[in-house]
Amino acid sequence: MTKDFVKFENVYKRYKMGEVTITAANGVTFSVDEGEFAVVVGLSGAGKTTVLNILGGIDSCDEGKIIVGGKDISHLNKHDLASYRRYDIGFVFQFYNLIPNLTAKENVELATQICNDYLDADTVLDSVGLSERKNNFPSQLSGGEQQRVSIARALAKKPKLLLCDEPTGALDYNTGKNILKLLQTKCIEDGMTVILITHNSAITPMANRVINMRSGKVISNVINPNPLPIDQIEW
Amino acid sequence: MKEKGNQKKALRKNILREISRTKSRFISIFAIIGISVGFFTGVKSACPSMIETAERYFDDNYLMDFSLISTIGFDDNDIDEIKKLDFVEDIMPSYMADMIVTEGDVDNVARVIALSDNKSKINIPMIKEGTIPQNDGECLIEKYYAKLAGKKIGDTIKFNSQDSSMLKNTEYKIVGIADSPIYVSYSRGNTNIGNGSISFYILVRPDEFSSERYTRVFIRTKASQSNFSAFSDEYKNMIQDESDILEELSFDCINRFNSETLYDAQQKLNDAKREFSEKKSEALQKISDGEKQLTQGEKELNEKIADGQKQLDDGQKEIDKLKQDLINARNEYDNKLSNAERNLNYARTKFENKSDEYNKMKSEYDSRIKNVQKDIDNAKKEFQQKHDIFYRQTKPLFEQQLDSLQSKIDFLNAQTEIAENSIRRKKSLGLDTQKLERQIREYQQNILQYQKQYDNLSDEFSDYEQEFINAENLFKSTEQELENEKSNLSEKLRNARNQLDSAELKLAECQAEYNNISSTGNFDVKMLETEITIGEKKIRQGREKLETEKQKAIEQLNSAKEEFENGKKEADEQLSSAEKELSDAQDKIDKLQNAEWYIYDREDNPGYSGLVEDAQRVDNIAKVFPLFFLIVASLVCLTTMSRMVEERRTETGTLKALGYSDRDISLKYLIYGSTAGLGGCIVGGIFGVTTLPKIIVDTYGIMYMLPETKIVVSQADFFISSIVAVMCICLVAFIACRSDLKLNPATLMRPKAPKPGKRILLEYITPIWKNMSFTSKVTARNLFRYKARFLMTVIGVAGCTALIVAGFGLRDSITVIGDLQYVDISRYEQVYALSDSGTSRQKQDIISKFRNDERFDTAMLSYMGWSSDTNSKKSNISLSARIVIGESYDDFKKMFTLRDRLTHTPIALDDNSVVIDERMSNVLKIKKGNTVGITIDNIPYNCTVSGITENYAGNFIYMTPQFYKNITGNEIKYNVIVTDVAEQYENSQHDIANDYMKDDDIITVSLISEQVEAIMSTLDSLNIVTFVMIFCAGLLAVVVLYNLTNINIAERVREIATIKVLGFYSLETANYIYRENIILTFFGAVGGLFLGSLFTGFIVQSIQMNNVMFPHIVRPMSYVWGFVLTFVFSMLVNFIMYFKMNKISMVESLKSIE
């Protein structure tokens, strides 16, 4: 397991809103090892999402260095960033972002059809427990099921890194727990590196690593030697 | 009240902000309305602008209402009579003459028109440059020709002075350049001189004309003074009534002329005729006497010539004999020479063979001798080696060894001797000699040994010596042998050389013999030849002498003949000129007897009626567009407004929750829509009205000579189209927000569930669905997901394609007329108008002249007249149609195609009915078997129609001469000759026309090719309409596609952001949307091709005139253009959209659903 698989070094990101400049990332520095389940916690506006966007290649930083799997992604051009997202990153959104006009299976295929090395859509959907609902449209699925499709879509690409932006934010307690369990299982069984951002610090015990952010800065980066299975966490 | 004001204020602010925030949406509604209204109003204004421009021109320049021409001219009595008519406002007696102007080798016909005098103000020319003529010999020239021929002020126009009786001068100085309102187009009409068509006109002062009778009368009447437009039916009706009155007046005037002037003239002429016939018989007697004398002289001359000829022939015979001798001598010489030549060749061949043989032998033997020599040298070398070894090594070695042995022996012998001596001395001394004796024995023994050795060695040496001698002997014998062989070979070679030399000698002998024969024989032949040459020269001289004498005699005879011919011709000329004078005088009287007035109104001015027709044609095209544009505009607005209402759903909910009334909320959308619409109407209207009419009228202006275009805005069209457009948009806005307003605020504030995905029909057709690629499945499902947009885009694109196809199709349909009408249907090329006075006998003479002219394939006597009032019971329209009657039905069929348009089945003419053209049948609603009312010479007749024939330009009624006789009771009077020029003379039609124009019986010639050109140039200008249509189609396509793609992208921002996050590259993302656009464009374009064809048909129908039918033809290339251009426009939109799509931020995908 590579140490410092993901590494942020002094990353700055500033947004200009009229005459006001907001510094969303103010010298962020942290690292995550390969195979770890890392949770980034912090209040709204702490800069979590900015970090995730930059890490996921959908936004760029103004200063600093970001290394993912030995590759510096901070200065990639548009096309290379797209390739990076295509081959290296799996993204799970808060609002699932499924294409409403495609069935569950087709949503997964939408991702795999542009990859060279990918998992079979049926297999992935089986593995997230959606064998029965492959041919349903998103509107026919519950929130939890939709998020599972979203995870399956991210996993099917065989990404190096799975990024989850508040994956349980729009789900009820139990469904959310199931989703977190699925992510934890994928991390433990497949050795997937997972970075999850949340404002809910109650779920931090399940992580290998907890990164705490405030005002665009990392205020702590703690390794949790004994992560708890999600079933044992209540909040 | 105050509160209410504030409330409204907030709402107003909201609307203003909405507009500034959604500029592109506002602009797209603005644009589509602007294009529709602008285009419609613009094109609609073209016709009134053109008519207004023309009308003002005519009014300002006092264009006449009537122009009268009489075959006998007019006098002051006639003018006074006309003046008395109550509708006559102004009258101007005037003059006109057609003159030939020769420039370079081209003859042009100029029409000379008198300017208005001081007493009246009619047809005032528009002076472009210079001044009106003030003095004698000055003229104004028309602007177009001045430019064309490079005439400037100060140049002169010079007439051929043959017939200058009409004018005082033959040369006119140009003092100004002007346009007369009589001529609005480039057509100048026909004449009866030159090539039959007028090239240009000049204007001169009326006192330039020396004619005592006026040739023309211009009249302005109450009709043009009234408030009615000169193009209105009211004006036309007034003119018709006035024309009838003028016609009645004309009969009175002509009767007066006949009874007063003509009677005297006929009396005088009869006296002159009598005198002439007496003088004629006297002259004829003289001529026949002279003829007899001439015949006698010619006979004598011929006899003398025959004598001389015989003498020469004898000399010739002698020469011929010599020539035979020469041939014999030459043959003999040739034989001998060829024998010698044969010998020579034989000897040469032989020598050459021998020479070859010898050379071959020599080279072979030389090499052999060389080889032998080499052997000798080798043997010598070998022997030399042996020799050297023996003398240098063996022999000295042995001699040395032998010498050393000898010396040893000698020494021993000496020792022995010494020892013996010693013995002897010892003995003598009695000393013991034993020792010495033993020594001597020892010596002796040694000597013996050495001696033996010496002998052995000596033997050995002699062996060697013997061997060497043997070798020497062998070498010598070998050398001898080889030398012998060598000399033997040389001997043989020498023999061969001798043989060769003898062959060469023989060759030289043969050559000498040949040269001898060749030179002596040739000399004999030359002698004979010289003899013949001398003989022949003598004969030639004799012949020349004879010829000169003969020539002299013939010259004398000819001059006598010429003298006679001249005398005869002179007499003939005098006679015939006298005869012609008499017949001319008779003709003049005859012509004057059938005097007639021709009453022309403005419509008869060349180009006048075309102007109105052109204007109306543009107007008709404009009629087609509004509905179509309105539909598309409404659809575009509907989608745009629906989208906007949907986006503002939460806002609507909030406003509702705050207690705003439905009216207030919907007002926002109504105001938004109507502002955009109204803005579009105003801007589009202003733009359309200022550009389009000018473009269109200026384009037509190329064909018409009109002053600066005056733009008349068709206000009614502008207001109606604007009101309809704004109402449409308000209705659309109302429909769009009505459904939302029905819901309660709570529902509205919840986000609207995205449209759920649905299986499409195609998925149930498993074989197809399974074989489709993933992306095409996605595209297919998306297409059916947004049905409204699907439909919209397809309709919009179809409209675009249809417009383009219609634009091209319109051009196709129009341009094809020339070919169809003048190649397929009317196959004749020239029409010669015959003078009225000719009898049917004279006409037969003329037609046989045509028939004997190889330049014509066919020529036929025909009748072409006008049925001024052609009508039917089913329609209240009256047409004027041309009646065509051919003398011979066979010839008729060659030049007029009567056939069904669709099936091309020929239609036959019979003696009981008429055949009419298709356009007439449509306008008058006449079917086969119905009755058509026609008018011949003001008498109406009813005729059964037995066929409807394909025809495009003009209205025609075809009948047989027998039918004519049956209905009118009169024998037909043919008035034209219709001809079909043979193919190889097609290009010299003008020359042919010129030739026949010299004939007095032919008045004018019209060339069909010139008519075709004139018609086609009018119709060609419809090209501008094509381009306007294509331009609008492009705008339409771009606006529709831009708008819809814009909405498509706006609605799917989240989806696009998501696939970008998934790692789609820019182009892949764009294709995700474009694929739909391309497929929709394809469907639209295909639909548009059909629609375009229908559309073309519709336009073609609506631009038809009463006498012109357009075929509905769309060439394949036009479809291709429609299809390709549509795709070009679609690609253009896709290209613009690419940047927009690139700008979508992926962060969008993370935002919560609105």
Looking at residue B163, its pLDDT comes to 58
Contacts of B1152 in chain A (CB under 8 A): 94-95
Question: What residue numbers bound the domain in which B209 lies?
Answer: 62-227
- Answer yes or no: do A101 and B1060 touch at CB < 8 A: no
Looking at residue B1150, its pLDDT comes to 66
Looking at residue B625, its pLDDT comes to 67
| pLDDT at residue B639 greater than cutoff 70 | yes
Tell me the pairing of strands A209-214 and A37-41: parallel
Tell me the average pLDDT across B585-594. Answer: 74
Looking at residue A212, its pLDDT comes to 93
- Answer yes or no: do A85 and B775 touch at CB < 8 A: no
Contacts of A61 in chain B (CB under 8 A): none
Tell me the average pLDDT across B514-521. Answer: 81
Give the span between the Cα atoms of A121 and A144, in whole angstroms.
Answer: 18
| pLDDT at residue B650 greater than cutoff 60 | yes
| pLDDT at residue B471 greater than cutoff 60 | yes
Looking at residue B3, its pLDDT comes to 45
Tell me the average pLDDT across B921-927. Answer: 90
Burial of A191 (0-12, 13-18, 19+ CB in 10 A): exposed
Tell me the average pLDDT across B44-70. Answer: 87
B944/B889 same-domain check: yes
B944 pLDDT tier (thresholds 50, 70, 90): very high
In this structure, of A86-100, B293-307, B870-884, the range with the lowest mean pLDDT score is B293-307
pLDDT in tens, chain A (235 residues): 678 899 999 999 998 887 888 888 888 999 999 989 999 998 888 888 889 989 988 888 898 999 998 889 988 888 998 999 999 999 998 888 888 888 899 899 888 888 888 889 898 898 888 888 888 888 888 888 999 899 999 989 889 899 998 888 878 888 888 888 888 888 888 888 999 999 888 888 999 999 999 988 999 999 988 888 888 888 7
State which of B981, B1000, B1019 marks the end of a domain: B1000
Residue B737 lies in a domain: no
| pLDDT at residue B2 greater than cutoff 70 | no
Which uninterrupted H or E stretch holds B114? strand B106-114
State which of B1000, B1033, B1062 marks the end of a domain: B1000
Per-residue pLDDT of B318-337, as tens digits, reads 888 888 888 888 888 888 88
Residue B665 lies in a domain: no
Interface test with A, best of B772, B1055, B1062 (most A CBs within 10 A): B1062
Q: Does A60 touch chain B (CB under 8 A)?
A: no
| pLDDT at residue B708 greater than cutoff 90 | no
Q: How many residues does chain A have?
A: 235
- What's the order of all strands across the beta sheet hosting B66-74? B88-94, B214-221, B66-74, B597-601
Min Cα separation B757/chain A (Å): 4
Q: Does B1060 touch chain A (CB under 8 A)?
A: yes
Looking at residue A115, its pLDDT comes to 87
Percent of chain B with pLDDT over 70: 95
Tell me the average pLDDT across B231-237. Answer: 85
Residue B824 lies in a domain: no
Interface test with A, best of B766, B1061, B1143 (most A CBs within 10 A): B1061
B963/B1067 same-domain check: no
Q: Nearest-CA residue of chain B relative to A81?
A: B1063
**Beta strands, E only, A33-151:** 37-41, 63-68, 71-72, 89-92
| pLDDT at residue B701 greater than cutoff 80 | no
Give the span between the Cα atoms of B91 and B219, in whole angstroms.
Answer: 5
Residue B775 lies in a domain: yes
State which of B539, B559, B579 marks the end of a domain: B559
Give the span between the Cα atoms of A86 and B351, in whole angstroms.
Answer: 101
Per-residue pLDDT of B415-458, as tens digits, reads 888 888 888 888 777 777 788 788 888 888 888 888 888 888 88
Q: Does A113 touch chain B (CB under 8 A)?
A: yes
Q: Copy the structure tokens of residue B1087.
A: 């639909």
| pLDDT at residue B696 greater than cutoff 80 | no
Give the span between the Cα atoms of A168 and A179, in whole angstroms.
Answer: 7
| pLDDT at residue B593 greater than cutoff 50 | yes
Q: Nearest-CA residue of chain A relative to B783?
A: A101
Query: Which of B288-302, B637-651, B970-984 is most confident?
Result: B970-984
B813/B940 same-domain check: no
Which uninterrupted H or E stretch holds B553? helix B434-593
Give the span between the Cα atoms of B721 and B616, in whole angstroms.
Answer: 20
B443/B333 same-domain check: yes
Q: Would you kindly state where each structural domain of chain A is located, as residue ranges? A: 6-230
B215/B77 same-domain check: yes
Closest CA to B612 of B601, B602, B622: B602
Q: Copy the structure tokens of residue B572.
A: 């003939």
Give the span between the Cα atoms of B115 and B125, in whole angstroms.
Answer: 8
CATH of domain A6-230: 3.40.50.300
Per-residue pLDDT of B536-545, as tens digits, reads 888 888 888 8
Nearest to B757 among A87, A93, A102 (CB): A102
Q: Does A99 touch chain B (CB under 8 A)?
A: yes
Give the span between the Cα atoms of A163 and A66, in whole angstroms.
Answer: 15
Under 8 Å between Cβ of B654 and B749:
yes
pTM of the model: 0.61
Looking at residue B752, its pLDDT comes to 67
What 3-state class would DSSP assign to A227?
A: coil
B203 pLDDT tier (thresholds 50, 70, 90): very high
B957/B1070 same-domain check: no
* DSSP structural state of residue B753: P
Q: Nearest-CA residue of chain B relative to A153?
A: B1062
Q: Nearest-CA residue of chain B relative to A167?
A: B1150
Contacts of B1055 in chain A (CB under 8 A): 99-100
Per-residue pLDDT of B342-356, as tens digits, reads 888 888 888 888 888
Looking at residue B174, its pLDDT comes to 92
End-to-end CA distance of chain A: 31
- Answer yes or no: do A94 and B1150 touch at CB < 8 A: yes
The C-alpha angle B324, B330, B334, rounded to 5 degrees, equals: 145
Residue B381 lies in a domain: yes
Give the span between the Cα atoms of B111 and B450, in whole angstroms.
Answer: 164
Nearest to A137 among B757, B1065, B1150 (CB): B757
Closest CA to B860 of B960, B732, B945: B960
B982/B1077 same-domain check: no
B992/B1014 same-domain check: no
| pLDDT at residue B848 greater than cutoff 70 | yes
Tell me the average pLDDT across B675-685. Answer: 90
B979 pLDDT tier (thresholds 50, 70, 90): very high
Q: How high does pLDDT run on average in chain B?
A: 83
Q: Does A109 touch chain B (CB under 8 A)?
A: yes
Tell me the average pLDDT across B852-868. Answer: 88
- Answer yes or no: do A58 and B1062 touch at CB < 8 A: no
B190/B211 same-domain check: yes
Based on the structure, what is the number of domains in chain B? Answer: 4
Tell me the average pLDDT across B463-468. Answer: 87
Under 8 Å between Cβ of B1059 and A101:
no
| pLDDT at residue B1154 greater than cutoff 60 | no
Instruction: List, in order, residues 6 or more apart from B691 with CB less than 8 Å away.
Output: B42
| pLDDT at residue B573 greater than cutoff 50 | yes
Give the span between the Cα atoms of B645 and A76, in whole angstroms.
Answer: 41
B965/B1094 same-domain check: no
Compare A133 and B760 and report the one with higher pLDDT: A133
B457/B326 same-domain check: yes
CA of residue B332 relative to chain centroid, distance: 72
Nearest to A95 among B1061, B1146, B1152 (CB): B1152
The C-alpha angle B15, B21, B24, rounded to 5 degrees, equals: 110
B435/B499 same-domain check: yes
Contacts of B1153 in chain A (CB under 8 A): 95
Query: Which of B565-569, B679-683, B875-879, B1051-1055 is most confident?
Result: B679-683
Q: Where would I find the H helices in B950-1065?
A: 961-968, 989-997, 1008-1020, 1023-1051, 1053-1061
Per-residue pLDDT of B97-147, as tens digits, reads 888 887 766 778 889 998 887 788 888 898 888 898 988 889 999 988 888
The CATH number given to whatever domain includes residue B421 is 1.10.287
Percent of chain B with pLDDT over 90: 9
Under 8 Å between Cβ of B681 and B725:
yes
Q: Which amino acid is at B293?
A: Q
